[in-house]
Amino acid sequence: MVYSGTTFRGGAAVLILIACLAGSSTLSHAQENSQRAASMTREAGLAAWQQVYSVLTTPRCINCHTATNYPEQGDDRHRHLFNVVRGPGGKGVPGLNCATCHQSANADSTGVPGAYNWHLAPLSMKWQDTNDNILSSVAVCRSLTDRSKNDSLDGPGILRHHKQEPLVLWAFQPGHRRDGTARSLPPLTHDQFVAATRTWVDAGTPCPQNP
């Protein structure tokens, strides 16, 4: 009986050990899968971010995300003509507001772009340095995801901004210049831009590590 008991106890121990090993192996497999999925999601998120970044840094977007006291104009991103200044709320100053020229829609007959509530992005959302050089992908990503700088937007909030904000929508329908030619467009369509933003947001808004 003792022998049998010992055998039984020994057998139970082996079974428990096997069970533990099997359990440990299953857990490790699940963790690996989960890690692989997370890594793939992060990879997809980072790739999507680069697409988003490629849009944010086109002239249609970045001309109003300056670090300076003035907006920029044109594909060469020159300083806005006519002595236009930022003003305290990013809408110019009395007598020379953005709305002095920019109306609620593009004025194609006169070449002045327009959309609802035309204004500069706040300085906390600058995507250029004070010498008008475009910031790196890392720097823009960190700013964009910093809720102390981005008007407290979380991932879905950023997605909503990219989907609905009239000035974002304008960038994809920027109208015509004074000479009648069409303004250049971002490298993605608005639908592609929103899809890329969604992928990036779903991945947890990852930012690249290296500048």
- Chain contacts with another protein (rule: CB under 8 A): 81-85, 87, 93-97, 99-101, 103-105, 107-112, 114, 178
Query: Residue 149 or 177: which CB sits closer to another protein?
Result: 177
Q: Of 82, 51, 188, 184, whose CA–CA distance to 72 is shortest? A: 82
- What gap in Å lies between CA 187 and CA 211, rounded to an integer? 22
Query: Residue 98 or 207: which CB sits closer to another protein?
Result: 98
Minimum separation from the CB atom of position 82 to another protein (A): 5
Minimum separation from the CB atom of position 104 to another protein (A): 7
Query: Residue 59 or 114: which CB sits closer to another protein?
Result: 114
Minimum separation from the CB atom of position 108 to another protein (A): 7
Query: Residue 13 or 93: which CB sits closer to another protein?
Result: 93
Which residues neighbour 42 within 8 Å (Cβ) at sequence distance 6 or greater?
Answer: 203, 204, 206
User: In 10 A of CB 199, how many CB atoms?
Assistant: 18
- What gap in Å lies between CA 108 and CA 130, rounded to an integer? 32
Instruction: Give one DSSP letter per residue of 49-82, joined into a string.
Output: HHHHHHHHTSHHHHTTS-SSSS-EETTTTEEPST
Q: Which two tokens stand for residue 195?
A: 């899809």
Query: Residue 34 or 69: which CB sits closer to another protein?
Result: 69
Minimum separation from the CB atom of position 117 to another protein (A): 13
Minimum separation from the CB atom of position 96 to another protein (A): 5
3-state helix, strand, coil in the chain (%, to 5): 50, 5, 45
